[in-house]
């Protein structure tokens, strides 16, 4: 990965400067894919789009804000003053929905991010998926809402729905959904999730692919819709 100058944004509410990592080139070597669809690439780190201003605490979609373009002699000072954009916590993702900031067309991304944020507790070795009973109910409520947003005619969405059912310990439902998936590039994941269902495993796990594509990428390849 070859780094470039960070992207700079001005909060539209308070004009504080927010920065995100930028690179001239990156690759997907040593990438890790998980059963919930999350992919982690050490040499191509993900940067947040939905974040919160460190100064005024307003939620922001950085993709809706124009980048600050500055002459080189002013840019260094702006970079020093900037605060790095952070991914929203589970609590903030829920709050972003509750405050009405998230529009309907953005809800799938946010509900999906909440699911991943819970599973990150397992990925990061924290052991417990839930903090308490109320947290478990919020988790279950989010999964039920996420299922409603997934397209039953999209094979990847069917895979995600099956993974949700496995997380909820509805193993037979998950297997039924998985057996309807026919596209070749999902077969590795499908078979491993079926095996987890048969073994009564409900938590997220790493997928072992028989073929991993390692490619060079530029920053523009990772712009989300």
Q: What is the DSSP letter of 18?
A: E
For the chain, what is the largest distance between any 2 Cα atoms, rounded to a whole number of angstroms? Answer: 62
The pLDDT confidence band at residue 3, using thresholds 50, 70 and 90, is low
* Backbone φ/ψ region at 15: left (φ over 0), alpha (ψ -120 to 50), beta: left
Q: Which pTM was predicted?
A: 0.88
Kindly tell me the sign of the dihedral angle through the C-alpha atoms of 14, 96, 107, 202.
positive
From the number of C-beta atoms within 10 Å of its C-beta (0-12, 13-18, 19+), residue 36 rates as buried
- The predicted model gives 104-129 an average pLDDT of 95
- Report which of residues 110 and 211 the model is more confident about: 110
Q: Which two tokens stand for residue 22?
A: 């930028």
Give the model's pLDDT for residue 76.
85
The pLDDT confidence band at residue 26, using thresholds 50, 70 and 90, is low
Give the model's pLDDT for residue 1.
64
Give the model's pLDDT for residue 135.
97
Kindly report which listed range (17-26, 95-104, 149-158, 167-176) carries the lowest average pLDDT score: 17-26
- The predicted model gives 56-60 an average pLDDT of 97
151-174 pLDDT, tens digit each: 999 999 999 999 999 999 999 999
pLDDT, averaged across the chain: 90
How far is the C-alpha of 138 from the C-alpha of 145, rounded, in Å? 11
**Cβ neighbour number for residue 65 with a 10 Å cutoff:** 13
Q: Which two tokens stand for residue 76?
A: 């260094």
């Amino acid at each position: 990965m070859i780094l470039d100058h960070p992207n700079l944004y001005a909060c539209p509410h308070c004009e504080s400067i927010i920065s995100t990592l930028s690179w001239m080139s990156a690759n997907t070597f040593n990438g890790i894919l998980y059963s919930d669809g999350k992919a982690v690439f050490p040499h191509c780190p993900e940067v947040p789009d939905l974040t919160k201003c460190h100064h005024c605490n307003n939620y922001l979609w950085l993709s809706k804000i124009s980048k600050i373009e500055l002459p080189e002699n002013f840019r260094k000072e702006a970079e020093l003053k900037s605060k790095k954009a952070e991914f929203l916590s589970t609590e903030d993702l829920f709050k972003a929905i509750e405050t009405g900031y998230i529009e309907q067309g953005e809800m799938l991304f946010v509900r999906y991010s909440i699911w991943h944020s819970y599973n990150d507790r397992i990925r990061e070795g924290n052991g417990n998926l839930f903090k308490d009973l109320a947290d478990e109910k919020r988790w279950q409520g989010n999964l039920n809402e996420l299922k409603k947003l997934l397209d039953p005619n999209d094979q990847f969405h069917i895979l995600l729905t099956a993974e949700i059912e496995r997380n909820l310990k509805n193993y037979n439902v998950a297997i039924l959904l998985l057996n309807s998936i026919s596209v070749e590039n999902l077969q590795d994941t499908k078979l491993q999730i079926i095996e987890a269902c048969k073994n009564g495993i409900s938590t997220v796990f790493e997928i072992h692919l028989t073929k991993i594509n390692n490619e060079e990428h530029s920053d523009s390849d990772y712009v989300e819709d």
